[in-house]
Amino acid sequence: MKTEPPSCHCSLTAAMSIFETARAKINLCLDVTEKLPDGYHGVRGVMQSIDFSDQLEISPDLAADKRGWRVESNIRYIPSGETNLAARAALLFHSHTGAGPRSGLIKIKKRIPVCGGFGGGSSDAAAVLRALNREFAAGLGRAELERLGERLGSDVPFCVAGGTALAEGKGEKLTPLPHLDCYTVVCRPDFSCSTPELFAAIDKMKMRIRPDVPGMVKAVAEGDLQGVARRLFNVFEEALPKKQAEAIWVIKDLLIDSGALGAVMTGSGSGVFGIFPNKNAAEEGCRRLKAEGVECHLARTTRAIE
Ligand code: C5P
């Protein structure tokens, strides 16, 4: 619904900027349940946000010229125009609410690996929705922001608030779960996976094993880290081409050998993470993986944004 633009509650001028943090997500477990009539797939799993983040600086063009939204980043190859998901989020926010600027600049300091299964692009888009909603007092609640996010991508609704949640439907049906506090080491192998190709591979496969999603939900609710680690499982690992599957197993083994309680690929890869019993163990694990030449980062799980 389009409404009259509410007056801005802040005193933004053309020179001012809005700052927002965009957190990565990991999939503690992930199942693909069915192919839907529109070509998308039903998914089911537990998602978790972590303090591994991109930093956004949004500078609205309040002069309302017609330059549109532009995106600048430390990563050369991400789109700089309105095909970038963050710019699309800003456009969608304006067209939906009538609030906020029609054009501006979004600077993204990217740390979350692009196409890594950590929801980097989705998280940037969700951060734009959150920031514009707050600064331009549009008054959208969390559920409304999630519904807007759904129009941008399947992971965007979760990234609006993050935390720990059961995700169903195409990923947009979210049930918040109790906070799971733990330390992880996130790794980025030096190859990317194609999400549509992995979904297509799954369509052709007979899945041998599926994740224990109810067991994972229970383990999270009980704060049972060992139980969570035992149930880390991602059906996309089975759909990977052989060479990539082997590369993922090498990193998972390295994580386990370095003290992780369990390790798994996140989303459609190629990112992999391990769960560690405490901060010291995660720091030591991260050091060991770096010594083996693996690109990795220490990250702690985060609570949902209120
Ligand atoms: O929603 P998102 O843009 O992240 O999806 C990327 C691609 O992944 C889609 O174009 C679709 O091919 C596939 N996908 C799917 N089912 C989902 C989510 C994504 O088939 N639930």
273-293 per-position pLDDT tens digit: 999 999 999 999 999 999 999
- For CA atoms 62, 66, 69, 71, the dihedral sign is negative
Structure tokens at 290: 């770096």
What's the gap in Å between 154 CA and the centre of ligand 1? Answer: 6
Q: Is 196 in the pocket of ligand 1 (CB under 6 A)?
A: yes
Residue 155 CA: nearest ligand 1 atom is 4
pLDDT digits (tens, 9 = 90+) for 26-55: 999 999 999 999 999 999 999 999 999 999
What's the gap in Å between 79 CA and the centre of ligand 1? Answer: 19
Question: What is the DSSP secondary structure assignment for residue 239, as one 8-state letter?
Answer: H
Q: Whose CA is nearest to atom 3 of ligand 1?
A: 153
CA dihedral 58, 269, 33, 122 (to 10 degrees): 0
Determine how many CB atoms are found less than 10 A away from the CB of residue 206: 4
Structure tokens at 95: 């067209």
Amino acid of residue 266: T
The SS3 of residue 26 is strand
Determine how many CB atoms are found less than 10 A away from the CB of residue 199: 18
Residue 268 CA: nearest ligand 1 atom is 8
35 included as an active-site residue: no
Residue 35 CA: nearest ligand 1 atom is 20
Q: Whose CA is nearest to atom 14 of ligand 1?
A: 40
What's the gap in Å between 40 CA and the centre of ligand 1? Answer: 6
The SS3 of residue 193 is coil
What's the gap in Å between 199 CA and the centre of ligand 1? Answer: 8
pLDDT of residue 7: 39
Which domains occur in the chain, in start order?
18-176 (3.30.230.10), 183-300 (3.30.70.890)
| CB 168 within 8 Å of CB 150 | no
pLDDT of residue 64: 62
Report the alpha-carbon distance of residue 218 to residue 231 in Å, rounded.
11
Report the alpha-carbon distance of residue 89 to residue 122 in Å, rounded.
10
End-to-end CA distance of the chain: 24
Q: Is 113 in the pocket of ligand 1 (CB under 6 A)?
A: no
Q: Is 153 in the pocket of ligand 1 (CB under 6 A)?
A: yes
31 included as an active-site residue: no
pLDDT of residue 2: 35
Render 114-167 in DSSP notation, one character per residue: TTSSS-HHHHHHHHHHHHHHHHTT----HHHHHHHHHTT-TTHHHHHH-SEEEE
pLDDT of residue 65: 63
What's the gap in Å between 304 CA and the centre of ligand 1? Answer: 24
| CB 302 within 8 Å of CB 51 | yes
Residue 169 CA: nearest ligand 1 atom is 21
Structure tokens at 149: 């996010």
pLDDT of residue 208: 84
Q: Is 135 in the pocket of ligand 1 (CB under 6 A)?
A: no
Beta strands in the chain (DSSP E): 18-35, 41-60, 69-73, 104-109, 164-168, 173-176, 183-187, 233-234, 262-265, 272-276, 296-300
What's the gap in Å between 111 CA and the centre of ligand 1? Answer: 23
Q: Which of 31, 124, 155, 252 is catalytic?
A: 155
| CB 228 within 8 Å of CB 29 | no
Burial class (CB in 10 A: 0-12, 13-18, 19+), 39: exposed
| CB 265 within 8 Å of CB 234 | yes
Q: Which residues of the chain register pLDDT less than 50?
A: 1-14
